[in-house]
Amino acid sequence: MIIRSAAMPDTSSIKLTRRNLMRTAMLGSAAATSFASLAFANDAEHPLATTRSGRVRGQKHQSLYIFRGIPYGADTAQFRFQPAVKENSWSTVRDALEFGASAPQPKSSENTSEDCLYLNVTTPGLRDGRKRPILVYIHGGAYNNGSGSDPQYDGINLALRGDVVVITVNHRLNLFGYLYLAGFSGSAFPYSGNTGQLDLVQALQWVQEHAQEFGGDAGNVTVFGQSGGGAKIITLMAMPAAKGLFHRAFTMSGQQVTAAGHRAATQRAQIFLDALKLPVERLDELRTLPIAALQEAANARDPSRIENSSLYFGPVLDHRSLFRHPFYPDAPQQSRHIPLVIGNTRDETRAFLGGDPANFTLDWAQLPAKIAEQQYVDIHPDVVVAHYRQLYPHYSPSDILFAATTAGRSWRGAIIEAEARAEQGAPAYVYQLDWGSPLDDGKFGAFHSLDIPLVFDTLLQPGSRTGNSPEAQKVADHMSRALLAFAKTGNPSHSGIPRWKPYSLKNRETLVIDVNCRLENDPRGEERKFYAQAPFIQRGTF
């Protein structure tokens, strides 16, 4: 039986058990001494797994085994701006009942630490000889924030529905994962620009090593991720260190056509050092400076016209771990054999621009300035407005703002990737989520990140904006089943949707996901053609 959007019952049961046991332990030293035996006398409820560094104790929930906070690397504070190393071993059984710390990041409500290399496993079986598909989710939040412990990423329903292993991962972010220091003469940090990516490589190596222990198939690993998670996956597809570690890739609103080059990344690093008032000659002091001081320096203004905010950090074409741009000038040859899903939502930018109520009440006089500020493409805003008024005469100024910025920003990267895969003759399955959130009178539509709870089938988890109507559940069924079919066969088609054909340059086949899905050729084709007149500029690459 599939659990419908349970509010993480496994977490609450763990906390309740341990809280009651702690009260028992406080009654006296004898009770305290017997705490471990009281807590975990029932191995059926608290299963054990063996990792390369020691045994871990998890939690049983219905037919699933859940392990949280398993380390796959050592505390990165000891290796700041350097590739991670293997986690330290432990001799006693280690509890894997609570999520590990998230990477240092601004304004996080979670526990954060440089000791952040942890992953979480939800599996239907342990050491049972079954070769289940393994799904590894890489979280979004650009390259700046987020973690694998978001309630929307709960893997229970996927694991139950599909008999698959679901893993979520934490890794280094922002300046700790992507500050490029190799551009300075004599730098002792040659891999600093991509340590966050190399963390993910190490996590995937851990998955390969432990697949059998957790009832999975090391030869069938699907990585999936939304926004920054998708971009990280696309970057991994071009990194030699990641070759052979995954076999399918499912990306949602996350593209990475180009990476930052040496000049751009070094320029940002110099701005960062200037904010710290730290000369290059004292670069080694970065190893021990307080986290808060580093984070404050990262608030310096980014030089990019696109960013218009604090410093951007993302993957770097460093010619040490990343030797080519992820999808420029073509699709990477090393991942040609890997089936790829490329998805976007129809109203992406309502997530970013919808926080300003004024953007929902624009008039025609205000629209051009908003277009110029937010579209990230250098086309005269009056030309943009005129084109959209011709295409969609019924659109309001606000409708045009959201449509034009969506088409000119992340969707451009998705089209480029799909075209590159088609030219390569490699399978790429493209989707466009049209079904919109019914909340707030539907004004946010199919906004950026709406597909996360639909793919995980976690409609009622905190953070989800889908509601739990029958229509929402039907769309979640479409998307979660597509992911599971893709993980098992390399093709996302299933009986609940039309046959999903790979993207071709001739037809531009795209699955439009709604309550009733349909396969369309070149949806929004006139918008695509319009924006093709200007070059696409990836965030952070100049």
Q: Which residues are catalytic?
A: 227, 348, 448
**How many Å from the N-terminal Cα to the C-terminal Cα in the chain?**
50
CB 215 within 8 A of CB 231: no
For residue 79, give the DSSP letter: G
- CB atoms closer than 10 angstroms to residue 363: 9
In the sheet that 340-345 helps form, which strands lie side by side, from edge to edge? 59-61, 64-71, 118-123, 165-169, 132-138, 216-226, 248-252, 340-345, 428-433, 509-513, 518-521
3-state SS, residue 369: helix
The answer to whether the Cα torsion of 479, 480, 483, 489 is positive or negative is negative
Q: What is the rounded distance in angstroms from the CA atom of residue 63 to the CA atom of residue 160?
A: 8
Q: What is the rounded distance in angstroms from the CA atom of residue 134 to the CA atom of residue 188?
A: 36
Angular region, 58: left φ>0, alpha ψ -120 to 50, beta rest:
beta
CB 165 within 8 A of CB 123: yes
- Distance set, CA 379 to CA 388, 523, 541 (Å): 13, 22, 19
Main-chain phi, psi angles of 89, to 5 degrees: -80, 160
